[in-house]
Structure 1
Amino acid sequence: MEKSEADGPAIRVASPGGRWVVLTTVLGSSMAMLDSTVINVALPRIGDDLGTDLAALQWTVNAYMLTLAGLILLGGALGDRYGRRRVFVAGVIWFAAASLVCGLAPNAPVLIAARALQGVGGALLTPGSLALIQASFHPDDRARAVGLWSGFGGVGAAVGPFLGGWLVDGPGWRWVFLLNLPLAAVCVPVALRHVPESRDPDAQGRFDVAGAALGALALALVTYALIGAPEQGASPAVTGSAAGGVLLGAAFVRLERRRAHPMLPPSVFASRRFTAVNVVTLCVYAALGGYFFLSAIQLQVVAGYSALGAGTALLPTTLLMLLFSAASGELGQRIGPRIPLTAGPLTAAAGMLLMLRVGPGSNSVTGYLTDVLPAVAVLGVGLVIVVAPLTATVLASVETGRAGLASGINNAAARAAGLIAVAALPLLAGMGPEAYRDAGEFAATFRRAMPMCAGLLVLGALIAWATVRTPAPAHDTARPECAMHCGVTSPPLEPEPETGPPGTAG
């Protein structure tokens, strides 16, 4: 059961086959989404169980984001060339195998290596989930299918921190990873039996493997330098890694400019608005990456919450996005992106500053209502305002045929921003290797880190106000069903249109 775009998709949502395709894509994307949203809640328990320092916890988060951000564009190109179902299934199996290693990891180095392998699997399955819907469904049903995917994905994002906290406090943090095994056990056979294979008949030439490798290595070296600096100082390893990361980054830019069809085409940045909105994306998601990494630890180590309590405490942010992001997308369509992209980050910055009230005693009912809930609610409102218009503006900044590429670049930029923030914030805030074990020390550094996160959001708002001037035309906005996506870790991906994939060279 294989077809290309030339055959035309014919599955209807109401048919049994349509329901199987939606189930498959939701299960697959939920694996990656759950791991992205629950890992922060589990960090203090992982550190205690494995006897690790703060740097190892940073790598536990960043190893996954590193390979995912570096390879996600290449993963979409592989699906277009070799079959989207085939690559999606390979990603699910890979992700599940890496999750098993994570769940059985005897020490931090094994866990970090397995998390990096998880990111490779995520890079294969994440772009494939929406691409399968794009290629499988009849055009009249495609919007509804994506809406179902977004809605169920939003529910998964909302449940993730709660489920993760329950697992950490109950059977243990290892089950945060082992939970992926039954999901994969259902997803793979359903995909092989019920999801049609598809590929892009125009996909040809070489893959930009060198570009992907250079980009990932540059990020890895910079990340190593930032994480190692608090303990090692300006050692040869730290300074050498920083210099190597900068040099490889420059080599990556040079390589992409010289290739005929690079993974990251420089020509897409000819749009001033596309470039500006990606800079805003870097600011917003760097702030969010640092916030979610540190706030989950703050709630447990300083405020005294359990893992379940911390996950539940942060839930209102995601619930607000799930309930109101679609309406925000429609509002952005009417008034243009400039106001939402300015007001949203400023509101979110206020929420992060309100987190400074969280401390000892905030785990009581009164403490939650006065200290935690206002902060996470205001942050959620800010994200509701900004995330959907941000995605819409990215897609409106390029021609329709490059929407998938633009979305992939924006998604990768957001993940890279979160990666750098998790590496850099502890260094900038002066967190020592054992800070997360000492409530007083962590609270002091948290008070220094939150204003930095808020400052990034303010910077993003200023850039948006200064550069995003032209209202997005009505036909250039993101689809409302995509706007339901709860983009707390990255913006949603847009399926690649029926053109050649990114990441190939002709």
Structure 2
Amino acid sequence: MQDINQSTGFTPTQRWVLGLAAAGSFMAVLDAMVVTTALDTLRHDLAASMEALEWTVNAYSLSFATLLMTGAALGDRFGRRRMYVMGLLLFALASMACAVAPDTGWLIAGRAAQGMGAALLMPISMALLGAAFPPPQRARALGLFSGITGLAVLAGPLMGGAIVHGLAWQWIFWINLPVALGVMWLTLAKVPEGKAASAPLDIRGALLMTASLLGLVWGLVRGNRNGWGSAEVMLSLGGGSVLAALFVASQRLRAWDAMVPPRLFRSPVLAVGLAVSFLLTASLLGTLFFMAQFFQVVWQLSPLVAGASMLPWTATLFLVAPVAGAMVKRVGEKALVVVGLGLQATGMVCLAVLASPVGGDAGYWMWVLPLAVAGGGISMAMPAVQSAVLGAVEPPDMGKAAGLFNTLRQLGGVFGVALVVAVFTRVGGYASPQQFGAGFTAVLMVTAALSLAGAAVGSRLKPRAVQGNTAAMQGVKS
């Protein structure tokens, strides 16, 4: 039955896996997006500084990035369905902690705990998809997965604005509870258990990777506050780099049972895909951090209207990603990545001009097309790079590849936010709408440059036919 459905459609089990994997990822992405519209409210309600706002976003990314590979390894070792449910439970409990936070310190701690739950959800959801869908169906499934997850990008800023405007910022976290409980119950009932054939847990590798990423991310976040030449930042970045080198050495020693086995990089497609993912997410998160604030600070819009103003940008992910996923098989990942990130850069440059004094008193209607172009571009690139990464490894390594992919994505988000905050604080500020607009213009030019860098790296992806021949040759060699 499944063989017949490979060309005609998905089996019922496949549909449940796709829906529930996307639901958990939806919740994880929603909480990254929904906070962006609430940042200006948090700045006033909790007297949050710029550093506190940055930590509200990056505490999530910090724990997420440092534990992603561990989460993927736990799924391989103890069962993907079991650990997926554990991730949902942890995410729900952390969301409750955020909702009752009396100050920014408590909120940041809750956000870090949310990231731990997301570190189980995201890589395991992709591993579940990789195991449930054979290569002929995988690109289409990933396109649908990106589209469903893209609803979080679409709904996040708008939902955050509506909740903050109509209720209170705490409710952006309470909404996770019914979603998490429902997905937990259905996952246990509908998703088959699965894990690698023999998946020992690389504890030494997990500790080294966690410690190295913690040092690197801590240094990136603290650099804007303490200065990039400060002892704390230099020690953090240097220590993280040394630990990363030790991690790589440990993986070479363990070889076949390592957390990130060297065999994953036999195909250069994986390395290119990971680099593109890093730059794509840096551009996306860097823009998101300031865009809703621009609408509220400069245009004096309410949180609800600010979130709605981003719809031409965010809605395209829901509309374009499934189509792009279906196109991967025909045109290949390379074309979609290069064209998509080129469009993202073009849209950001146009928005930078509109936000600057050169744009004059340009009305919102002039923003709609550049927002849609940028959103459509990134929506083309996202499922394509996911397909490239998962297509570069064998099924038993899906969990490891998905964990590595999401780790680089989170690191890209941290890097992007740290970079644009550094640029914004040097060029702009909150003293006046004009000062904020000047900083935001510079931010958009930086995110455009990150997108162009991603397109340049993506141009090194091989055409789909060449990838297939390379994979076949590797299979013969093994």
Q: Same fold (TM over 0.5)?
A: yes
TM-score (norm: length of structure 2): 0.84
**Most deviating of 325-334 and 38-47:** 325-334
Distance 1:279 1:154, change over 3 A: closer
Give 1:473's match in structure 2, choosing from 447, 451, 465: 465
Give 1:415's match in structure 2, choosing from 378, 387, 410: 410
Whether the 8 Å contact between 1:227 and 1:424 is mirrored in structure 2 is: no
Q: What SS does the corresponding residue of 1:277 show, helix, strand or coil?
A: helix
Specify the alignment match of 1:305 in structure 2. 301
Distance 1:217 1:301, change over 3 A: farther
Q: What SS does the corresponding residue of 1:264 show, helix, strand or coil?
A: coil
Whether the 8 Å contact between 1:85 and 1:195 is mirrored in structure 2 is: no
Distance 1:396 1:113, change over 3 A: same
Confirm whether residue 160 of structure 1 aligns to residue 156 of structure 2.
yes
Whether the 8 Å contact between 1:28 and 1:184 is mirrored in structure 2 is: yes
Tell me by how many angstroms 1:19 deviates. Answer: 7.7
Aligned residues: 458
Deviation string for 1:406-432 (max 9, x for gaps)? 343222212211111112321244349
Distance 1:198 1:342, change over 3 A: closer
**Most deviating of 242-251 and 410-419:** 242-251
Letter in 2 for 1:336: G
Tell me by how many angstroms 1:276 deviates. Answer: 2.4
Distance 1:460 1:132, change over 3 A: closer
What are the within-5 Å matches in structure 2 for residues 32-431 of structure 1? 32-129=28-125, 131=127, 152-192=148-188, 194-195=189-190, 198-200=193-195, 202-205=197-200, 207-233=201-227, 234-260=229-255, 261-356=257-352, 357-358=354-355, 367-370=363-366, 372-399=367-394, 402-431=397-426
In 1, Cα distance between the equivalents of 2:458 and 2:187? 41
Letter in 1 for 2:217: T
Q: What SS does the corresponding residue of 2:193 show, helix, strand or coil?
A: strand
Whether the 8 Å contact between 2:348 and 2:445 is mirrored in structure 1 is: yes
In 2, Cα distance between the equivalents of 1:144 and 1:337? 13
Distance 1:122 1:476, change over 3 A: farther
In 2, Cα distance between the equivalents of 1:382 and 1:113? 34
Whether the 8 Å contact between 2:16 and 2:191 is mirrored in structure 1 is: no
Q: What SS does the corresponding residue of 1:259 show, helix, strand or coil?
A: helix
Distance 1:271 1:127, change over 3 A: closer
Higher helix proportion: 2
Confirm whether residue 28 of structure 1 aligns to residue 20 of structure 2.
no
In 2, Cα distance between the equivalents of 1:276 and 1:146? 19
Distance 1:216 1:45, change over 3 A: farther
Tell me by how many angstroms 1:105 deviates. Answer: 1.0
In 2, Cα distance between the equivalents of 1:308 and 1:209? 46
Specify the alignment match of 1:449 in structure 2. 443
Q: What SS does the corresponding residue of 2:464 show, helix, strand or coil?
A: coil
In 1, Cα distance between the equivalents of 2:398 and 2:238? 34
Deviation string for 1:131-164 (max 9, x for gaps)? 5567789999999987876654443442222211
Deviation string for 1:163-183 (max 9, x for gaps)? 111011121111111111222
In 2, Cα distance between the equivalents of 1:302 and 1:114? 30
Tell me by how many angstroms 1:217 deviates. Answer: 3.0
Q: What SS does the corresponding residue of 1:198 show, helix, strand or coil?
A: coil
Structure 2 unaligned blocks of 5 or more: 1-8, 470-478
In 2, Cα distance between the equivalents of 1:435 and 1:286? 21
Distance 1:328 1:110, change over 3 A: same
Structure 1 unaligned blocks of 5 or more: 1-11, 478-506
Tell me by how many angstroms 1:87 deviates. Answer: 1.6
Whether the 8 Å contact between 2:139 and 2:328 is mirrored in structure 1 is: no
In 1, Cα distance between the equivalents of 2:347 and 2:140? 34
Whether the 8 Å contact between 1:227 and 1:427 is mirrored in structure 2 is: no
In 2, Cα distance between the equivalents of 1:382 and 1:311? 20
Deviation string for 1:27-80 (max 9, x for gaps)? 433321211221111111112211111111111111111222222232233223
In 2, Cα distance between the equivalents of 1:177 and 1:390? 30
In 1, Cα distance between the equivalents of 2:129 and 2:268? 31
In 2, Cα distance between the equivalents of 1:28 and 1:117? 16
Deviation string for 1:342-377 (max 9, x for gaps)? 2222211111112221379x9x9x72111x212211
Distance 1:474 1:75, change over 3 A: same
In 2, Cα distance between the equivalents of 1:309 and 1:476? 47
Tell me by how many angstroms 1:446 deviates. Answer: 1.9
Whether the 8 Å contact between 1:70 and 1:412 is mirrored in structure 2 is: yes
In 2, Cα distance between the equivalents of 1:308 and 1:447? 23
Deviation string for 1:451-505 (max 9, x for gaps)? 121112222222333x23x31039969xxxxxxxxxxxxxxxxxxxxxxxxxxxx
Tell me by how many angstroms 1:21 deviates. Answer: 6.2
In 2, Cα distance between the equivalents of 1:341 and 1:142? 17
**Most deviating of 98-107 and 68-77:** 68-77
In 2, Cα distance between the equivalents of 1:224 and 1:47? 22
In 1, Cα distance between the equivalents of 2:340 and 2:458? 10
In 1, Cα distance between the equivalents of 2:420 and 2:108? 20
Whether the 8 Å contact between 2:139 and 2:387 is mirrored in structure 1 is: no
**Most deviating of 291-300 and 249-258:** 249-258
**Most deviating of 236-245 and 163-172:** 236-245
Tell me by how many angstroms 1:184 deviates. Answer: 2.4
Specify the alignment match of 1:503 in structure 2. none
Specify the alignment match of 1:460 in structure 2. 454
The CA RMSD over aligned residues, in Å, is: 3.5
In 2, Cα distance between the equivalents of 1:300 and 1:439? 10
Letter in 1 for 2:455: A
